[in-house]
Amino acid sequence: MSTSETSRYVRLRVEMVLEITDAEALSGTALESLAAEYGEPGGDSAEERTHAENAVREDGAEALASLIDPFDLVSEVPGVELTQASWTSESIAYDPQDPDGWDLDDGDDEDDGDEHGAGVPHNGEENDDDGSAERRA
């Protein structure tokens, strides 16, 4: 690819720390989303659906990851098209009072090609070995 061809592509990295203020509302919304995605209980994807439902009930990070879709973030932006996306969600220890608590250079630039996790296959999601949920679109 020439330089002019590759300059059309941009990697946008966004990192957020969110506080779950109502875990029940979050998991309820995630369960509604799963019901809409999988349709009626039973059928070919019953085991997959059950696994996904259990994951979002037990873990707020899983529930959040199942609801976030990068396409929604850029679908209304004129002149861009989402080509590929990957995102993760994990529970962390965070102290909002700690001035050093937001370290943007945390050395988390892992090789994106190492995708060997297994887990909740919701909207392209995979669980990594560390328990974080990673989704691909």
> How does pLDDT run across 47-65, given as a tens digit for each residue?
899 999 999 999 999 999 9
Instruction: Please check the confidence at residue 132 and state whether its pLDDT lies above 60.
Output: no
Type of residue found at 135: R
Separation CA 137–CA 129 (nearest Å):
20
CB-side exposure of 129: number of CA atoms within 13 Å? 3
The pLDDT value given to residue 115: 36
Radius of gyration of the chain, Cα coordinates, nearest whole angstrom: 17
Q: How distant, in Å, are the alpha carbons of 1, 31, 39, 49, 93 from that of 36?
A: 41, 9, 5, 11, 32
Q: Is the Cβ–Cβ distance between 35 and 67 less than 8 Å?
A: no
Place 134 in a pLDDT band, splitting at 50, 70 and 90.
low
Which range of 4-13, 43-52, 126-135 scores highest in mean pLDDT? It is: 43-52
What pLDDT is attached to residue 5?
Answer: 65
What is the residue-averaged pLDDT of the chain?
78
Q: Is the pLDDT higher at 13 or at 27?
A: 27
Residue 124 has pLDDT above 50, yes or no: no
